[in-house]
Amino acid sequence: MKNIRKEAIEYMKRAEILIKRLLQVLLKRLNVKDIDKEMEHMLMGATRLNFNYYPKCPNPELTAGVGRHSDISTITILLQDDSGGLYVRREGSEADSWIHVPPVTDALVINVGDVLQIMSNGLYKSVEHRVLPNKNKNRISIPIFVNPGPDAIIGPQPQVLETGEKPRYKQVLYSDYFNHFFSKPHDGKKAIEFAKIL
């Protein structure tokens, strides 16, 4: 396999411009106007790139692909090929209702992750999603997980609570949240309960 380290680093570097712009816009809605160094560390201190490969499978219903989960990022920038297979769950539906995210040439999929849900005290909602493998086509996807630094403390932002809104989430160390998520199999949006004030 060709060594694509250089291309991957270049891709991340270019994506950083988009990531910063998106976070600026999203945080403005939370009354956070200035993203200083500390805030930047909380939002994107440990950004990472993954490569997912889903070999074709004659019986997709017998395999998991990626089980239902939400990402534990602030946001995820997802590049998918033209195979299809990514589904998002319709928020608020009691019965399971999944919407296919069709591949669009030259378009990226932007997912809200749990960290942004926690920081916004629930104003933004992380999207539950899953991947079903394809019957007759291999699939590749390349997500950039925009994650906080492991030592960042994440919680509802003071600017969001200024109106007197009650905090719904605790302040948690991001590495604790990360370890909690990876200590269990994917289970929808269960992980966020780790940070919930009950």
Ligand X SMILES: O=C(O)CCC(=O)C(=O)O
Least Å from the CB of residue 99 to ligand X: 13
Residue 47 contacts which entry, ligand X, Fe ion, none (Cβ below 5-8 A, type-dependent): none
Q: How many residues bind Fe ion (CB under 5 A)?
A: 1
Closest to ligand X by CB, 14 vs 100, is: 100
Least Å from the CB of residue 149 to ligand X: 19
Considering only the stretches 16-24, 63-71, 162-170, 180-188, report the one whose residues sit in contact with Fe ion under the rule CB under 5 A: 63-71
Is 88 among the residues that bind ligand X (CB under 6 A)? no
Whether 160 contacts 116, CB under 8 Å: no
Residue 86 contacts which entry, Fe ion, ligand X, none (Cβ below 5-8 A, type-dependent): ligand X
Whether 48 contacts 144, CB under 8 Å: yes
Q: Which two tokens stand for residue 78?
A: 């997802």
Least Å from the CB of residue 89 to ligand X: 12
Least Å from the CB of residue 112 to ligand X: 13
Residue 162's φ and ψ, nearest 5 degrees, are -55, -30
Is 86 among the residues that bind ligand X (CB under 6 A)? yes
Q: Contact with Fe ion (CB under 5 A): which of 71, 89, 130, 154? A: 71
Residue 50 contacts which entry, Fe ion, ligand X, none (Cβ below 5-8 A, type-dependent): ligand X
Least Å from the CB of residue 74 to ligand X: 14
Q: Which residues are paired to 49 by β-bridges?
A: 144
Residues 118 to 177 in contact with ligand X, rule: CB under 6 A: 129, 131, 141, 143
Least Å from the CB of residue 143 to ligand X: 5
SS (H, E, C) the chain: CCCCHHHHHHHHHHHHHHHHHHHHHHHHCCCCCCCCHHHHHHHHCCCEECCEEECCCCCHHHCCCEEEECCCCCEEEEEECCCCCEEEECCCCCCCCEEECCCCCCCCEEEECHHHHHHCCCCCCCCCEEECCCCCCCEEEEEEEECCCCCCEECCCHHHHCCCCCCCECCEEHHHHHHHHHCCCCCECHHHHHCECC
Residues of this chain that interact with ligand X (CB under 6 A) are 50, 52, 66, 71, 78, 80, 86, 129, 131, 141, 143
